Amino acid sequence: MISKLANTIFNKAISDYHQYNKIDQPINNPYAAESLSHLLYLKNYIDTAQWHMEDVVRNPEIDSAEGLSWKRRIDAQNQIRTDMVEFIDGYFLNLYQNISPLKNATINTESIAWAIDRLSILALKIYHMQEEAERLTASVEHRAQCQNKLDILLAQRNDLSLSIDEFVADIEAGKKYMKVYKQMKMYNDPTLNPILYNNTK
């Protein structure tokens, strides 16, 4: 089951990150290069680092210049995340390239990798919500509210995991087929962002 593999690796990546809890800590990916496990670990580690970048930039006392620097770094990290998702989709496209879809095969609303992206973010939400549910310095009411949210997140992960596994099974059976579109983000491209291409300075 792809979801079981992904959830296990995401939990490991999050745990490994928090051993150091440093955004710039070098990634020590334990899985063989080119393997799906390697890609999943890298994907979640990138997401985890960005999660903490988002925390830093929301500090109300952050210097404006430093805040802008972090926002630009987050913008660049978003592009890295997108590229990573498309790379994982490439893995699955190659894996299933010889499967012939049935005549009545349908397309999904999102690709396998974008569904996995949501699963990766859910893993982070679960980890940090559990931290809040168990934080002894927080009020009993706060911990109870966070536990309720955690229960919902866990149910959401179960549902999403099942959907991903069913999607993959349908592709393998020819009931669905993969069709991947590049995200074509425009804000980083100096030829597509009018703020950039109209800047004469």
* Phi, psi (rounded to 5 degrees) for 182: -70, 150
- Write out 82-113 in H/E/C secondary structure: HHHHHHHHHHHHHHCCCCCCCCCCEECCCCHH
Residue 197 clears pLDDT 90, i.e. is over it: no
Q: Are the C-beta atoms of residues 192 and 186 closer than 8 Å to each other?
A: yes
Give the total number of structural domains in the chain: 1
Residue 41 counted as domain residue = yes
CA 78 – CA 46 distance, rounded (Å): 9
Residue 110 clears pLDDT 60, i.e. is over it: yes
pLDDT of residue 172: 97
* Mean pLDDT, residues 69-73 taken together: 94
Residue 10 counted as domain residue = yes
Residue 63 counted as domain residue = yes
Residue 21 counted as domain residue = yes
Residue 76 counted as domain residue = yes
Helix (H, G, I), strand (E, B) or coil at 106: strand
* Mean pLDDT, residues 1-5 taken together: 96
* Phi, psi (rounded to 5 degrees) for 28: -110, 80
Per-residue pLDDT of 32-60, as tens digits, reads 998 999 999 999 999 999 999 999 999 99
Question: In angstroms, what CA-CA distances link 62 with 52, 55, 56?
Answer: 14, 11, 8
* Mean pLDDT, residues 23-39 taken together: 95
Residue 29 clears pLDDT 90, i.e. is over it: yes
